[in-house]
Amino acid sequence: MPADRWLGVGSCGAAQERAGARAVDDALIHDDPKLLIVFCSPAHDLRELLRQIRERAGDAPLIGCTTAGEITTAGPSDASVVVTALGGSGFAVRTAVATEVSGNLREAGAHVARSLPDRADLPHKVVLLLSDGLAGDQQEVVRGAHGVLGAAVPLVGGCAGDDLKMRRTFQLYADHVQSDSLVAAGIASNAPLGIGVRHGCRRVGEPMVVTSSRGNRVRTLDDQPALDAYLKRLGASEPAHQDQEGLTRLALTRPLGLGRPNGADQVCFIGGGDFAERSLSCIAEVPQGALVWIMESDARSVLEAAEAACADSLAALGGRPPLGMIAFDCIGRRSVLGEEGVRSETDRLAAMASGAPVAGFYTYGEIARTRGVRGFHNHTLAVLSVG
């Protein structure tokens, strides 16, 4: 690695003692960390985990979140801890946190976006966002950040998970465990930072019209209760009509797709349903009057999209080899791939990183904005390559 910047990744399984200390020890390949990024299962004692990391890393800036599974060069895992450390004089980092964000996600995005360091000597910049995907329309976070930063600064990140329980996720900031929060790191670098994002989904069947919605709550499709219309299109069995867990499992591989004027579909993850109201709850806004389709993918299309996302992020480095890659991978894609497929995907990530370390997690939504205002995604792989 260059003398002025470095990236290290460490990981440890939950069954091992002092998992946080072990993971951060492996990540700290030098003694001048500028940022620690922690991805971990909510099954851990999160306060104890942070205490162990602090014991080893001192007061280095730290952000992180809980997950629906973790990713390293070695492959996918569950109930583990993954720590990424950035360091050296070639990086400058400022972190920020917004709490109680469900009341105003756009304001939260604007607040944390102000964390970006103002360093003319470090011209390459990105803001990394880790959010609570259960707090409402995450596109509002992107709008708020974009309103502060403008078009010149890209955004990347993902929504925290809770091992697919869809009840409560946690965000980590310094030595604090938060919920209903947004944490961010503004990163300035003397070398390029590349972002790629792809989904690999395709439309199935005829479109439906969103005849009633508010924010991320879809009430009716084609003037029918949205939950019933959705399940009818899928030919779903009876348990999914009343069982939240069954609906979540079904929706993981059958998201909604919103048609966009540029011809590219926006994929929208269905996080749950209201069985009394018969409505659907999505991770992002689904506007009234929109045309939506059921979307599907298969292992081949998901793996091809993963390679394309990595290639896009690496292309932005201008031929420079990466120091490392950070991956934000939708939990829905994991369900499509299955156990063998997710290992194949992480193997491909590792191969494209060409020996550089890979870290990441399975998300409830992905953030990747390099142009335009829209930057919240579902069923995608978003990749940050650090040059």
**Average pLDDT taken over every residue of the chain:** 94
3-state secondary structure 260-324: CCCCCCEEECEEEEECCCCEEEECCCCCCCCEEEEEECCHHHHHHHHHHHHHHHHHCCCCCCCCE
* Digit-coded pLDDT (tens) for 48-72: 999 999 999 999 999 999 999 999 9
The answer to whether residue 240 scores a pLDDT higher than 70 is no
Say yes or no to pLDDT of 267 above 80. Answer: yes
Dihedral over alpha carbons 369, 150, 108, 360 (to 10 degrees)? 30
Give the pLDDT band (50/70/90) at residue 325: very high
For residue range 139-174, what is the model confidence (pLDDT) as tens digits?
999 999 999 999 999 999 999 999 999 999 999 999
Does the pLDDT of residue 260 top 80, yes or no? Answer: no
Encoded tokens for 213: 């919605």
User: Which among 385, 267, 251 has a CA at the least distance from the CA of 327?
Assistant: 385
pLDDT at 263 (0 to 100): 61
Q: Residue 177 pLDDT more than 90?
A: yes
Alpha-carbon dihedral 51, 46, 342, 294, rounded to 10 degrees = -140
155-159, 258-262, 330-334 — most confident range: 155-159
106 CB-near residues (< 8 Å, 6+ apart): 140, 141, 143, 144, 147
> Is pLDDT at 327 greater than 80 in this prediction?
yes
* Residue 211 to residue 289: CA distance in whole angstroms: 6
For the ranges 4-18, 102-116, 262-276, the maximum mean pLDDT occurs at: 102-116
What is the C-alpha separation between 191 and 122, in angstroms, rounded? 8
pLDDT at 242 over 80: no
> Binning pLDDT at 50, 70 and 90, where does residue 239 land?
low
pTM assigned to the model: 0.91
DSSP assigned state of 242: T
Query: What pLDDT band is residue 374 in, cutting at 50, 70 and 90?
Result: confident
User: Higher pLDDT residue, 180 or 263?
Assistant: 180
| HSE toward the beta carbon, residue 81, CA cutoff 13 A | 29
Query: Which tens digits make up the pLDDT trace of 247-257?
Result: 888 898 999 99
